[in-house]
Amino acid sequence: MAKAKKNIMTYEGLKALEDELQDLKVNKRKEVAKKIKEAREQGDLSENAEYDAAKDEQRDIEIRIEEIENILKNAEVVTEEDGDQDAINIGCTVKLLDVEFDEKLEYRIVGSTEADVLNNKISNESPVGVALIGSKVGDTIKVETPTGEMVSYKVLDISKAK
């Protein structure tokens, strides 16, 4: 049997998933059960859109619960004490300078299950994340974009999780 892939994550990411799981099991399940009960009371289920929607919502909740439980089962929390204290690792917030556009950027390096580009959280497995891991203030890294271009970033600052 293949060994399950470890889900590397920060403590913050682990806590968020645990909170979501708790909410799904305690609150969302009750809410959807109430919706199903109310829809059943309306009579004929074969043409009851509310019943179908509630059953779909119930299915989605159960799928998400199973998904979170699998992530948590294989979770490996990385703390700021792990690795070189002066180098970038998971959990660090990094300030970069895009050399070509002279633009300052800020990212938090997280595990792949926590990645959220819209909130400046990039995965340690992304091209930029891979290039940044182990880098130090003053280093310039080069990253190949999906289009094949090379982008250069200079590391301006590294801050550890609080």
Q: What is the structure's pLDDT at 2? A: 54
Question: CA 52 to CA 41: how far, in whole Å?
Answer: 13
The 3-state secondary structure of 50-70, one letter per residue: HHHHHHHHHHHHHHHHHHHHH
Question: CA 13 to CA 78: how far, in whole Å?
Answer: 10
Determine whether domain 93-159 maps to CATH 3.40.50.150. no
Q: Is residue 162 scored above 60 in pLDDT? A: no
96-102 own/partner pairs: CB under 8 Å, 24+ apart: 96/153, 96/154, 96/155, 96/156, 97/153, 97/154, 97/156, 98/151, 98/152, 98/153, 99/140, 99/152, 99/153, 99/154, 100/151, 100/152
Question: CA 49 to CA 54: how far, in whole Å?
Answer: 9
Let me know: does 32 contact 58? Beta carbons within 8 Å: yes
Question: CA 65 to CA 115: how far, in whole Å?
Answer: 19
Count the neighbouring beta carbons within 10 Å of the beta carbon of residue 1: 3
* Residues in contact with 60: Cβ distance below 8 Å, sequence separation at least 6, in sequence order: none
Q: Is residue 8 scored above 60 in pLDDT? A: yes
* Domain coordinates in residue numbering, the chain: 7-77, 93-159
Q: Name the packing angle between helices 49-73 and 11-23 (round to 10°).
A: 150
- Count the residues in the chain: 162
For domain 7-77, give its CATH number from 3.40.718.10, 1.10.287.180, 2.170.190.11, 1.10.260.40: 1.10.287.180
Q: CA of 26: how far to CAs of 21, 32, 61, 65, in Å? A: 8, 11, 11, 11
pTM of the model: 0.78
Give percent above pLDDT 70 in the chain: 93
pLDDT in tens, 73-95: 999 998 766 556 789 999 999 99
Average pLDDT across the chain, whole number: 90
pLDDT in tens, 11-65: 999 999 999 999 999 999 999 999 999 888 887 777 788 889 999 999 999 999 9
Question: CA 64 to CA 56: how far, in whole Å?
Answer: 12
